[in-house]
Amino acid sequence: MALIYILLVSILLCNTNICSSAAVSTSEAVLITVDQSGKGNYRTIQEAVNSVASKNSELIYISIKPGTYREKIVVSADKPFITLSGTEGANTTITWNDGGDIFDSPTLSVLASDFVARYLTIRNEFGTSGKGIALRVSADRAAFYGCRIVSYQDTLLDDFGRHYYYNCYIEGATDFICGNAASVFQSCQLNSLAKSLGIITAQHRNTPSENTGFTFIDCKITGLDNGTVLGRPWGPYSRVIYARTYMSNTISPDGWSDWSDPSKERTVYYGEYKCYGPGADRSKRVGWSRELSRDESAPFLNKAMIGGGNWLRPPPTRFKKHVK
């Protein structure tokens, strides 16, 4: 039944124009280079994004030379099929310093579908005094590979759409992965900076009919021994699954929080499957979380829940010149 429901939701998304109507080649892309020294097509990432035509229908590969780019970047909704790629996350950094409103403060805002980011550090330097989003993803079909996403509170606003994160490092202290997307996090490291109570997720599913939630597969949770919880419900039907994930002793024995609203304990779906490490001991977990069986976990353990087989794409193998 779960797979049938996923297929029906995918069809509905296509019928409401969330699916792309353009036939896009996945092997060839227009190459745009960003180099602060002036040896590329553009000196800033935003200039490169702005150069992409509205309602673009071909793959755009923006190659970013190593360096620290102090920019607040928006990939607008009319610019799909863009890839931003560094060479490795440790030497290609996009950073800004802004806080407050979760939709206005992000260092990088992705509003366009079919977006890919590779080997970038995306950072908000706002600090510990409030919300400072590093990355906002408000679009369907977005994927992130080998990225470092770093802030303190609300680091990743995983707002809506279907998303995939692979081998990423995500760091924060409070609700540092939040929103109402349907997302798979695979082989990622989640690092809690909290010195007392930390919260990894605040998932915002509002009704049982929404096919949204966060699934963490083969991930690793690190941080101080400080009582961090796996999640708390931003929405009453919040859904978060951890599968085959290493949990250090940063995870508190009770594991989850109801955000001081016991009524949500009856409606959230918080599950763990074959997790391990000192923080994975379920003997003192809250009674309203679930230890999932093999059958219960099966619908969440692959990319089918986000329809990934239909839109996740490998890097292009051929490039053509960008014409200004």
What's the one-letter identity of residue 310?
Answer: N
Could you tell me what percentage of the chain is helix, strand and coil, using 3-state DSSP and rounding each to the nearest 5? 15, 35, 50
Clarify whether 295 is annotated catalytic.
no
Q: How far apart are CA 150 and CA 162, in angstroms?
A: 21
What DSSP string runs through 110-121? E-SSSEEEES-E
CB atoms within 10 A of CB 299: 16
Q: Which of 114, 140, 154, 159 is catalytic?
A: 154
For the sheet containing 177-179, what is the strand order?
Answer: 73-75, 108-110, 135-138, 156-160, 177-179, 199-203, 229-233
Clarify whether 158 is annotated catalytic.
no
The two structure tokens encoding residue 181: 């997307």
- Residues comprising the chain, all counted: 324
Residue 11 φ/ψ, nearest 5 degrees: -65, -40
The two structure tokens encoding residue 45: 């990432």
Q: Which of 175, 218, 258, 261 is catalytic?
A: 175
H-helix or E-strand containing 7? helix 2-15
Q: How far apart are CA 42 and CA 49, in angstroms?
A: 10
**Residues annotated catalytic, as ranges:** 154, 175
